[in-house]
Amino acid sequence: MNDVAAIALQRIRLHLARSKDFPEGSARHGYEFVAPLDERGHIDLESWRSQRDACTVTRFWGNDAPENGMLVHRAGGAGGSTWVFDYEAGDSDDDEAGYRFADHAFTPGEYVSLRDEDGELHTFVVFSVVPA
């Protein structure tokens, strides 16, 4: 059996896209997270498994204090599994779930959505992707 080398980690920055509350979008509202991306820009599950401790997230939201957590893969959910931002291990009440994160390419200019802890879906633009 061949060992597959882990894919290099990338630092992905998401900014809030245009919405009713933010007609121009907002660079002051978003996330910065670390994840292994494959050549298509998709999160690589196998590489994540071997590097999960390095896959962190910081949520920045206007004047609120930044929140730090982890990128976590959970079995089950729509489509069979879900990527979430988990801010407190063992407590899923504060988790924010990526909408079809496994299907989206994290490349600058693409759009992704996240469901916040209150159940609201927000759309974000991938602002940047750089080596972590």
User: Do the domain assignments include residue 132?
Assistant: no
Which range, of 14-18, 80-84, 117-121, averages the lowest pLDDT? 80-84
pLDDT digits (tens, 9 = 90+) for 103-115: 999 999 999 999 9
pTM equals 0.91
Cross-strand bridge partners of residue 82: 74
pLDDT for 68-77, tens place per residue?
999 999 887 6
Residue 1 lies in a domain: no
Residue 17 belongs to a domain: yes
Q: How many domains does the chain have?
A: 1
pLDDT at 4 over 60: no
Partnered with residue 114 across adjacent β-strands are 98, 122
Query: 117: domain range?
Result: 9-127
Burial 32-63 (b: 16+ CB within 10 A, else e): bbbbbbeeebbbbeebbeebeeebbbebbeee
Q: Give the pLDDT confidence score for residue 116 in this predicted structure.
A: 86
pLDDT of residue 127 exceeding 60: yes
Asked if residue 120 is part of any domain, the answer here is yes
In a domain, 67, yes or no: yes
- What is the residue type of 124? F
- In-domain check, residue 4: no
